[in-house]
Amino acid sequence: MRILRIAKEGARALTGNKLRTFFMMLGTMIGIVALSVIMAIGKGTDKNVMKRVTSFGTHAIMITAGGGKGFSPPQAGITTLRLEDAEAIRNQIRGIAIVAPFAMRGGMPIKAGSVQVQSRIMAGGAEWHEAMDWYTGEGDPITSEDVATLARVCLLGSQLAKDLFGNEDPVGQSVQIGNVQFRVKGVLLPRGVSPMGETFDDRLVIPLTTGMRRLFNQEHITNIRLKAEDSRQLGRIAGEIRQLLHERHHITPPAEDDFAIFSAVEIARNARGISRTLTILLSALAGLSLIVGGIVLMNILLISVGERTKEIGLRRAVGATQKDIFAQFLMESLTVTVSGMVLGSLAGFVINLTLGRFTKLPVAVSWEPFAMGLAFALVVGVFFGVQPARRAARLNPVEALR
């Protein structure tokens, strides 16, 4: 009953000056809003990273022609990977289940009847489907016989099939790639977005030999896709592949690599590293706003103590103890910060829903910002409320009544 009475006294004092109470809440509200949005974006980014890792393949390694650290298709004119490199990796590196070399060419014209589009062409072998975890939903896949005979057959991505043929069945129909006619052998299952953020479903796949000799007129490949028998061995396998390619390409450090190796582990590590750094920086800014809000709260409460000197003296005169005065002012501080936390959490929730619906930011709404906001509010309320509460409790009742 005593605590309830003290709480009522504190609430009455706060509601007596609503504008001042609002300004005391404002710093906490802004900090909690910032914290809620930052945590939601950080959590959404983590989920997005895991989706991309899953899309890439948890057992997969990709080797790309050309150096650099960015995970992007090699540019035209880079000829640093050969079929012989893929064979050496297959024969000399243990723990690899599948080795699938392939070549890519972007922006090639594809025509079906009166419709013409541009798409990225991927030329791969029979093992390409299993290496990429990407199979046909209609028709038949690329086979070893297609590769051996330089067959002029192709597979269409699901979106590309719609772009070229609409609602018609594309299997068995003809498309023209450049100046070469191909028969549509199948349509690939929808795949979605690549780890680079590009859509997979607008691509076209042809046999590797057909692409290299009949369409691209080249002897080099652009990528080698591997699948490890055990995902825990990805680090070792990547290291041994790098050493093997150094030997084959006569690369001696500090000379730069003429290839790049990527795995799901590296993609997740790089993406999370950037996300974590940004989250720490923004969280520090949110924490700073909470501290500033706490300082404002403390100063306004100190001013309030000076203005309410007679009230404090009167309460002491009718029997209130120093502990009662201390508890009342500390309760006021906690009421302000917790109320600011509740309002800030509600505002952050609305902002997160708005960002998730109307922007492309990865946002994941959860209970964690509310729990962390409550903890911050309690810490700020106690830490910055102690000094004003102590000053109020130490006032001499006789001097206060004067």
Residue extents of the structural domains in the chain: 2-51+273-401, 102-221
Residues 6/324, Cβ–Cβ less than 8 Å: yes
Distance from C-alpha of 31 to C-alpha of 283, rounded to nearest angstrom: 9
Distances in Å between the Cα of 111 and the Cα atoms of 116, 185, 225 are 4, 16, 29
Q: Which residue's entry shows tokens 């206060």?
A: 400
Buried b (16+ CB within 10 A) or exposed e, 120-136: bbbbbbbbbbebbbbeb
Helix (H, G, I), strand (E, B) or coil at 196: coil
Distance from C-alpha of 129 to C-alpha of 44, rounded to nearest angstrom: 30
Distance from C-alpha of 282 to C-alpha of 205, rounded to nearest angstrom: 44
Encoded tokens for 124: 């791969």
Please name the helix (run of DSSP H) or strand (run of DSSP E) that holds residue 199, with its range, or none.
none
Taking the mean position of all CA atoms in its chain, how far away is CA 100? 29
The tens-digit pLDDT sequence of the chain (402 residues) is: 455 555 565 556 566 667 777 777 787 888 888 878 877 877 777 777 667 666 677 788 999 988 655 455 555 567 789 999 999 999 999 999 999 999 998 888 999 988 999 989 999 999 999 999 899 999 999 999 999 999 999 999 999 999 999 989 999 999 999 889 999 999 999 987 665 557 789 999 999 999 999 999 899 999 999 999 888 888 899 999 999 999 999 888 778 888 888 887 776 676 666 667 766 776 777 777 778 878 888 888 887 777 777 777 777 777 777 888 788 888 888 888 888 888 888 888 888 888 878 877 777 777 777 787 788 888 888 888 888 888 887 877 666 566
Distance from C-alpha of 401 to C-alpha of 90, rounded to nearest angstrom: 92
Q: Is 78 left (phi over 0), alpha (psi -120 to 50) or beta?
A: beta
Q: What is the pLDDT of residues 326-345, one digit of tens each?
A: 888 888 888 888 888 888 88
Q: Is 237 exposed, middle or buried (0-12, 13-18, 19+ CB in 10 A)?
A: buried
Q: What are residue 62's DSSP bridge partners?
A: 225, 262
Encoded tokens for 211: 């692409």
Q: Is 166 left (phi over 0), alpha (psi -120 to 50) or beta?
A: left
Choose among 140, 152, 130, 138: nearest CA to 206. 152
Strands 153-156 and 180-188: parallel
Residues 377/33, Cβ–Cβ less than 8 Å: no
Distance from C-alpha of 78 to C-alpha of 101, rounded to nearest angstrom: 15
